[in-house]
Amino acid sequence: MTNKHMDRTFDSEQGIHTNFKEKMTYGDYLQLDTLLSSQKRLSDHHDEMLFIIIHHVSELWLKLIIHETQAAVAAIKRGDLQASFKMLSRVSKIQSQIIQAWDVLSTLTPAEYMEFRDKLGNASGFQSYQYRLVEFVLGYKTPFILKIYEKDPEVHQMLYHAYHAPGLYDVAIQALADNGFPINPDIVTRDFSKTYEKDETVEQAWMTIYKNVNQYWDLYQLAEKLVDIEDWFQQWRFRHMKTVERIIGHKMGTGGSSGVGYLKKVLDHPFFPELWEIRSKL
């Protein structure tokens, strides 16, 4: 497009605002100065910018996942399953975006990463408190994790609250009980700081729902939204593990974890076990 053509295009848009001396701009609204000045390399290596931006983007997506999932939990608690479906569907779409981020990071080669890895010190994605919040709301809770965040009382308190609060599956099970299914009362009133263990009464409730879809359409939809989220989350974990393996092999992580070994272990943990078990029994 020539400059003359561009000038004619803008001339035809007489309503476009150009004077922002006393008005809020796009950059002001998004606080772009703060956002775009946050990528501070600790080395002079070209690819450190990629490494920082990928993690910044992932943290922003995690923030939205937390925002939507917590709202979905509140909606399910008040019995508004339809409202929760929109939020949970959005979470699944966000997960597809966060998975693709690993494809970009995997363009970083081992030789390139070694040029700035020592600058990270003991900083590691293992310490991402937003990732832990997502795990907590999905029901995966491990007590030693909280110790990592004692340095920041505000973050520690936020995680402590989420650690003891009912997660997404807990409120889904409560919805089963509220709809008349004979759920084991010990499950409904359990200590939510403990990682959920599968229960026969919960499995039987889901089995009934899947065998009578039309009768329990809302609960069936809820179940499938949960399966979507776990499916995408495990795919995210797998891509994470393979990207780490591709870049550093089986070296120890910068945060002291076993790296690929740790990431492989968590792949085997289901969040909503009964929803996977019944697929073999239907």
Residue 94 annotated as binding? no
Residue pLDDT, tens place only, 101-156:
999 999 999 999 999 999 998 888 778 999 999 999 999 888 788 888 998 999 99
Residue 208 annotated as binding? no
Residue 52 annotated as binding? yes
Residue 85 annotated as binding? no
Find the helix or strand (DSSP H, E) in which 244 lies: helix 217-248
**Smallest Cα–Cα separation from 61: which of 152, 131, 159?**
131
Domains of the chain as residue ranges with CATH: 46-249+259-280 (1.20.58.480)
Give the integer Cα–Cα distance in Å for 69 and 130: 12
**Smallest Cα–Cα separation from 84: which of 100, 73, 94, 95?**
73
Distance of CA 13 to the CA centre of its chain: 41
Residue 254 annotated as binding? yes
Answering whether pTM is above 0.95, one says no
Give the integer Cα–Cα distance in Å for 195 and 198: 10
Helix and strand element counts for the chain (H, E): 14, 0
Residue pLDDT, tens place only, 195-220:
899 999 999 999 999 999 999 999 99
Please list, in sequence order, all residues whose beta carbon lies within 8 angstroms of the beta carbon of residue 37, skipping any fewer than 6 positions away: none
Structure tokens at 143: 């007590």
